[in-house]
């Protein structure tokens, strides 16, 4: 691969998905793109780039998709899901008692384990949420992961990663060698194709946003811009969840750290920080 091909791919990936590919990621590019080159029947990356340069939009999308990391699993990092179940949802049940509706956005949902983990938690709260309108919107830029998500089909390995056995028994059925999430839980999540570089306004406002393990691939300017736009898409008394390796500290004034809730952040658009003590006074926990 020539330096000019590498630069072309670096720029294309940043423009199309936000992915930053540093100069030392040549091996990553090759390991992800050589199988694609073989699949489309070209000799190597140079020829692949040549085809992309001549404007093959489908191939460009395949390259973007091949370069994204889709690693995910049920109840990833556990603690944020405990906060969601034990403090955020009880807090919102109080705050939305009149409206009786909740909107949750799982941005960068990969193969669906994250939004489905949230759906299973909410299913367990069905009695408290009877009569409520619950929306879980899960988005990703990759059509392939969205298709798998909609099927709700997971391998033995995937259901063994993070999914408590009682949830497997309660919500999944064995289909051949795979496990399929039951339709009642699947239907709680709407999957949509959406790029985080796009305008968020058409999605509306959300009480809770999960945007986990995707911003790590972006540069600081892109992260700051996304935080600003996430804040506008978040209700002023809503919540943002980030991945374990991600934070807002030093990157944005749009969010602040939620006291005693690792991985949870509060928008700076509304409730003053001084109100945090009251907001969490009743929910306890760490």
Ligand X SMILES: C[S@@+](CC[C@H](N)C(=O)[O-])C[C@H]1O[C@@H](n2cnc3c(N)ncnc32)[C@H](O)[C@@H]1O
Annotate 104-137 with b (16+ C-beta within 10 A) or e (fewer): bbbbbbbbbbbbbbbbbbbbeeeeebeebebebb
Q: By CB under 6 A, which span of 85-93, 182-190, 212-220, 273-281 interacts with ligand X?
A: 212-220
Report in angstroms how near the CB of residue 110 gets to ligand X at its nearest: 3
> Pairing relation of β-strands 153-154 and 178-181?
antiparallel
Closest CB to ligand X among 149 and 280? 149
Q: By CB under 6 A, which span of 39-47, 67-75, 166-174, 275-283 interacts with ligand X?
A: 67-75
Closest CB to ligand X among 152 and 243? 243
Q: By CB under 6 A, which span of 44-52, 128-136, 190-198, 267-275 interacts with ligand X?
A: 190-198
Side-chain-facing half-sphere of 252: CA atoms under 13 Å: 26
**Distances in Å between the alpha carbon of 76 and those of 99, 110, 173?**
30, 12, 22
Asked if residue 252 binds ligand X (CB under 6 A), the reply is no
Q: By CB under 6 A, which span of 51-59, 70-78, 129-137, 173-181 interacts with ligand X?
A: 70-78
* E strand or H helix that includes residue 176: none
* E strand or H helix that includes residue 139: strand 133-140
Number of other CB atoms surrounding residue 237 within 10 Å: 17
Q: Helix, strand, or coil here: 20?
A: coil
Annotate 64-79 with b (16+ C-beta within 10 A) or e (fewer): bbbbbeeebbbbbbeb
Size of the site for ligand X (CB under 6 A): 23
Closest CB to ligand X among 35 and 143? 143
Asked if residue 149 binds ligand X (CB under 6 A), the reply is no
Among 102, 105, 138, 140, binds ligand X (CB under 6 A): 140
> Pairing relation of β-strands 172-175 and 206-211?
unpaired
Report in angstroms how near the CB of residue 188 gets to ligand X at its nearest: 17
Q: By CB under 6 A, which span of 49-57, 160-168, 179-187, 194-202 interacts with ligand X?
A: 194-202
Among 62, 82, 114, 207, binds ligand X (CB under 6 A): 114
| Burial category of 171 from C-beta neighbours within 10 Å (exposed 0-12, middle 13-18, buried 19 and up) | buried
Scan residues 157-186 and list those touching ligand X (CB under 6 A). Answer: none
Asked if residue 142 binds ligand X (CB under 6 A), the reply is yes
Asked if residue 243 binds ligand X (CB under 6 A), the reply is yes
Q: Helix, strand, or coil here: 267?
A: strand
Asked if residue 213 binds ligand X (CB under 6 A), the reply is yes
Q: How far apart are CA 257 and CA 282, in angstroms?
A: 18
Binding site for ligand X (CB under 6 A): 17-18, 68-72, 76, 108-110, 114, 140-142, 145, 195-197, 212-214, 243
């Amino acid at each position: 691969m020539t330096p000019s091909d590498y630069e072309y791919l670096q720029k294309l990936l940043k423009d199309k998905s936000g992915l930053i590919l540093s100069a030392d990621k040549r091996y990553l590019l090759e390991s992800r793109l050589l199988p694609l080159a073989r699949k489309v029947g070209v000799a190597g990356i140079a020829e692949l780039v040549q085809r992309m340069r001549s404007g093959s939009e489908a191939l460009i999308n395949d390259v973007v998709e091949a370069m994204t990391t889709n690693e995910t699993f049920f109840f990833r990092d556990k603690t944020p899901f405990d906060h969601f179940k034990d403090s955020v949802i009880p807090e919102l049940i109080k705050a939305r008692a009149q409206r009786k509706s909740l909107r949750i956005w799982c941005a960068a949902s990969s193969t669906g384990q994250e939004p489905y983990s949230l759906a299973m938690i909410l299913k367990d709260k069905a009695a408290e949420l009877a009569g409520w309108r619950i929306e879980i919107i899960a988005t990703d830029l990759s059509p392939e992961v969205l298709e798998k998500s909609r099927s709700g089909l997971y391998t033995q390995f995937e259901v063994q990663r993070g999914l408590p056995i009682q949830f497997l028994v309660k919500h999944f059925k064995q289909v051949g060698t795979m496990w399929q999430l039951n339709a009642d839980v699947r239907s709680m999540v709407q999957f949509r194709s959406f790029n985080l570089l796009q305008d968020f306004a058409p999605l509306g406002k959300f009480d809770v946003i999960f945007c986990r393990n995707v911003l790590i691939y972006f540069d600081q300017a892109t992260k700051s811009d996304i935080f600003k736009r996430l804040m506008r898409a978040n209700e002023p008394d809503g919540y943002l969840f980030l991945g374990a390796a991600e934070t807002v500290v030093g990157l944005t004034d749009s969010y602040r750290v939620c006291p005693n809730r690792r991985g949870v952040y509060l928008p700076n658009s509304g409730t003053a920080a001084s109100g945090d003590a009251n907001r969490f006074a009743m929910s306890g926990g760490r």
